[in-house]
Amino acid sequence: MAPLFLNLSNHPAAHWSPEQRAAALVLAAPIADLGFPPVPADADEAAIDRLAEDCARQLPRGVTHALVQGEFTLTLALVLRLQRLGAVCLAATSTRRVQSQADGRKLAEFSFVRFRAYPWLVGGDGSSPAPKTTLRRDRQP
């Protein structure tokens, strides 16, 4: 099965900068979008778990790398599920340039810098926590 880069965020890959697309395609191709679901502010932990399971059922086959960005608790639940499947989970980093407007508004422009891997949170068997010395999938304890 061919490797796949999953974009699990609210920013479709078609709108990414050329630099961000190129960085993703170096890791895996093609890029598949799966929109990050809205998370109600009053959702409890069980609701977050259900949302994560719903997303997990929609995952395309072959995900080797995944950009996972959205509401924090759902992001963590999704990272855990993706890591259990062997995917390297990533966050996009950017620089922010802010310009103050004459009317007091601020205009922010973000420029992609790189992908940063989430710490490896599950062990090699996909279920147990990773040892403290193993933060990334490509490092051996």
Q: Is residue 97 part of a domain?
A: yes
Q: In total, how many domains does the chain have? A: 1
Q: Is residue 80 part of a domain?
A: yes
Q: Which residues contact 90 (CB under 8 A, 6 or more apart)?
A: 65, 66, 67, 68, 115, 116, 117, 118
Across 114-118, average pLDDT? 97
Across 121-130, average pLDDT? 62
Q: Is residue 66 part of a domain?
A: yes
34-43, 78-87, 95-104, 108-117: least confidently modelled range: 95-104
Q: Is residue 129 part of a domain?
A: no
- pLDDT value of position 137: 43
For 20-65, the pLDDT digits (tens) are 999 999 999 999 999 999 999 999 999 999 999 999 999 999 999 9
- pTM given for the model: 0.81
Q: Is residue 126 part of a domain?
A: no
For residue 127, pLDDT beyond 60: no
Q: Is residue 140 part of a domain?
A: no
> pLDDT higher for 26 or 122?
26
Q: Is residue 123 part of a domain?
A: no
Q: Is residue 133 part of a domain?
A: no
82: domain range?
4-117
Give the strands of the sheet with 63-68, arranged side by side: 31-33, 4-8, 63-68, 88-100, 106-117
What's the pLDDT band for 110 if we cut at 50, 70, 90? Answer: confident
